[in-house]
Amino acid sequence: MNEGIQTAYDFGGVVSSPAQRNRVLRNTYALLAVSMIPTVLGAWIGVSTGIMARMGTGMSLIIFLAGAFGFMFAIEKFKNSATGVGLLLGFTFFMGLMLSRMLAAILGLSNGATLIMYAGGTTAAVFFAMASLASVIKRDLSGMGKFLFVGAIILLVVGLINIFVQSSVLMMTLSVMAAGLFSAYMLYDLKQVMDGGETNYISATLAIYLDIYNVFQSLLALFGIFGGERD
């Protein structure tokens, strides 16, 4: 009986006490750190093989949408078992692969590697700032969720439009807005875990990972636009 309770708890059972919330937070941070490994691996394979660069924009978009939403649906379905962890790691590999097209373009710049390091360092700084802020804010931020969701939908729709419009000004605007929006989402998602609003560390990791991914991608685009140097 105790073993069954422990298993349910480990994969996101009901959490109420501060000690249990802290454990969910630690598990989230640990899984988040591990998830970066398949992300880097997927990005490296994508850049090395050029598999995404050889695909057309339309095909890349279809693969991204189908793969991302398919993975997210499956992760939520199996979030209370070890299968959910495996699916999450598979998803992060997929997302790294999807990011490889942008990384390859940035690496084509003479200072591309430096820009990637700047984007990564800035993203890490944003994460630690949001985590620190979430730990000291006493106010309930659950009301932010609906506004952030609406903002994310607007960004998605405008981003899809810009795939066909190909406006550099609109892309720059979207990148600035996305960096701000997903930084706020990061604060919201971290606060949810700390307050016990999210009791499943697999779901929490998925949400925070997406926040980090989108902030990094947005910053990388901005650094490429404003700081990119060509030979």
Q: Which of 33-47, 157-171, 175-189 shows the lowest mean pLDDT across its residues?
A: 157-171
Place of tokens 């499956």: 74
Q: What are phi and psi of 106, to 5 degrees?
A: -70, -40
Percentage of the chain lying above the pLDDT 70 cut: 92
Q: What are phi and psi of 28, to 5 degrees?
A: -65, -50
Maximal C-alpha separation, the chain: 66
- What is the mean predicted confidence (pLDDT) over 203-222? 95
pLDDT digits (tens, 9 = 90+) for 93-125: 999 999 999 999 999 898 889 999 999 999 999
Instruction: Please tell me the pTM assigned to this model.
Output: 0.88
pLDDT digits (tens, 9 = 90+) for 35-57: 999 999 999 999 999 888 778 77
pLDDT digits (tens, 9 = 90+) for 185-206: 999 999 999 988 888 999 999 9
DSSP the chain: -HHHHHHHHHTT----SHHHHHHHHHHHHHHHHHHHHHHHHHHHHHHHH-TTTTS-HHHHHHHHHHHHHHHHHHHHHTTTSHHHHHHHHHHHHHHHHHHHHHHHHHHTSTTHHHHHHHHHHHHHHHHHHHHHHHHH--S--TTHHHHHHHHHHHHHHHHHHHHHH--HHHHHHHHHHHHHHHHHHHHHHHHHHHHTS---HHHHHHHHHHHHHHHHHHHHHHHHHHH----
pLDDT at 117: 95
